[in-house]
């Protein structure tokens, strides 16, 4: 693939992400607590998560390993971070989540597959085809250090918040409850906030245009979703904490 084509595609993809962001501010994706039955055939929620997320893991690994210029030693660190996140999201999370009986529209899952294929490919291929030369000195660069700290903090927030949500249904409980503790004191969706920090950190530590576009897409996708969740919480629970924001503490 020619570099000019690759980079042009990246910025077009970023533009599509921005248009998707505008659309999602007005259209609520119909899955989870916002599920609807007028979006066509549905599949089990747990199966849908695997179908959606596993392509990103697989295409990233393949494009990383099979790119034309081979793999630099330092980029194995970035590989590990990406695979760690999507290994959890595509395999561990579906096994842990308590969503028996829930369905997701097939069209939503397929749209997510496209999103994950593009982001997985563009990031994996960048490291093996167009990446800067990452020497070992890069590990002492302020960009790597800052990015790693953000990535690790985001991962911790994401996992801890997910566990809080899972704990709400311990003992076979069904339905929805107000989550409390941790960053839930400040926002309705700290799990999304953690993911934003993860991919922002990944973009900084790699100083990669592909990772930057992925971080932007994460923002474009997760912020509207968090706003929908926040609105739903307030409409469903009259006692819902009024000072909570949707996703970014004290801001949004």
**What's the pLDDT at 131?**
82
**What's the pLDDT at 99?**
65
Q: What is the pLDDT of residues 51-75, one digit of tens each?
A: 888 999 999 999 999 888 888 899 9
- What value, to the nearest 5°, has the Cα angle with vertex 199 and ends 198 and 201? 70
Q: What is the pLDDT of residues 187-240, one digit of tens each?
A: 999 999 999 999 999 999 999 999 999 999 999 999 999 999 999 999 999 999
Which positions ≥6 away from 205 have C-beta within 8 Å?
A: 78, 81, 143, 144, 146, 147, 148, 150, 151
Q: Would the CA dihedral through 49, 51, 56, 62 be positive or negative?
A: positive
Q: What is the pTM of this model?
A: 0.91
Instruction: Assess whether pLDDT exceeds 90 at residue 93.
Output: no
Instruction: Determine the Cα–Cα distance for residues 189 and 228; give it in Å rounded to an integer.
Output: 10
Q: Which of 190, 207, 52 is nearest to 114 (CA)?
A: 52
Instruction: Assess whether pLDDT exceeds 70 at residue 101.
Output: no
202 or 163, greater pLDDT: 202
The residue extents of the domains of the chain are 3-224
């Amino acid at each position: 693939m020619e570099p000019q084509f690759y980079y042009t595609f990246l910025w077009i993809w970023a533009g599509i992400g921005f248009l998707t962001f505008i659309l999602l501010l007005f259209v609520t994706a119909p899955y989870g607590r916002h599920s609807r039955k007028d979006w066509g055939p549905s599949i089990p929620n747990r199966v849908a998560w695997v179908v959606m997320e596993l392509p990103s893991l697989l295409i990233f690994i393949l494009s990383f390993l099979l790119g034309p210029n081979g793999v630099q030693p330092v980029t194995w660190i970035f590989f590990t971070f990406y695979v760690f996140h999507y290994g959890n999201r595509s395999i561990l999370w579906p096994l842990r989540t308590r969503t028996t009986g829930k369905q997701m529209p097939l069209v939503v899952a397929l749209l997510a597959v496209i999103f994950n294929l593009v982001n997985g490919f563009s990031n994996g291929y960048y490291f093996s085809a167009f990446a800067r030369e990452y020497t070992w000195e890069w590990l002492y660069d302020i960009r790597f250090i800052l990015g790693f700290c953000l990535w690790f903090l985001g991962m911790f927030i994401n996992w801890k918040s997910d566990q809080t949500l899972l704990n709400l249904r311990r003992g076979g409980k069904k339905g929805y409850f107000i989550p409390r503790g941790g960053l839930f004191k400040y926002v309705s969706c700290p799990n999304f906030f953690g993911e934003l920090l993860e991919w922002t950190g990944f973009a900084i530590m790699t100083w990669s245009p592909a990772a930057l576009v992925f971080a932007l897409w994460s923002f474009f996708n997760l912020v509207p979703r968090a706003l929908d969740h926040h609105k739903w919480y307030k409409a469903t629970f009259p006692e819902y904490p009024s000072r909570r924001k949707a996703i970014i503490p004290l801001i949004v």
